[in-house]
Amino acid sequence: MKKLLAASVLVFSSMSVMAAPQPIQGGFSGPHEAAPMTQDQGGFNGPSATPVLNTIKEASHADDNAAVELTGYIISSVGKEDYMFKDQTGEIKVEIDNKDWRGITVTPTTKITIRGEVDKDWTVRTIDVDSVVLAK
């Protein structure tokens, strides 16, 4: 009986050592040259396998969910989150959620770039905007 008790104590005590959390290895440790990334930064910036439409004329004939990156001006508000957007090829209605402004305030003379996708209904196409940035 003593041997069984001693073996049980030995097994249970070794299990607690094996179950102890090990320190996580890897990663970077040292000075940071760049500012830490915020929630509004980061991601991939480069070519895409899917073509990105760059004019309202192209977007007005595009399929649903086609990616767009349009540069132009918001010329008027037509609803709570709906606006008319204009570039050199035409005008189109865009929907910009409050969170997608990211603190930018624009006027009809502020040149911006919007990124998003085409929202195709039966007879109308609009742009569902994901981000708004000041144009370069």
- Mind listing the pLDDT tens digit for each residue in 65-122? 999 999 999 999 998 899 999 999 999 999 999 999 989 999 999 999 999 999 999 8
Band (pLDDT 50/70/90 cuts) for residue 5 is low
Helix and strand numbers (H, E) in the chain are 2, 5
DSSP character at residue 64: T
Please tell me which residue, 33 or 6, carries the higher pLDDT value.
Answer: 6
Residue that the structure tokens 């996580």 belong to: 24
**pLDDT of the residue at 35:** 41
- Mind listing the pLDDT tens digit for each residue in 19-62? 555 443 332 223 334 444 445 567 777 766 678 999 999 999 99
List of domains in the chain: 56-134 (2.40.50.200)
DSSP character at residue 129: E
Structure-derived torsion over alpha carbons of residues 41, 42, 43, 45, reported in degrees to the nearest 10: 80
Query: Which residues does residue 134 pair with via DSSP β-bridges, in sequence order?
Result: 112
**Cβ partners under 8 Å of residue 114, min gap 6:** 68, 69, 70, 85, 94, 96, 127, 129, 131, 132
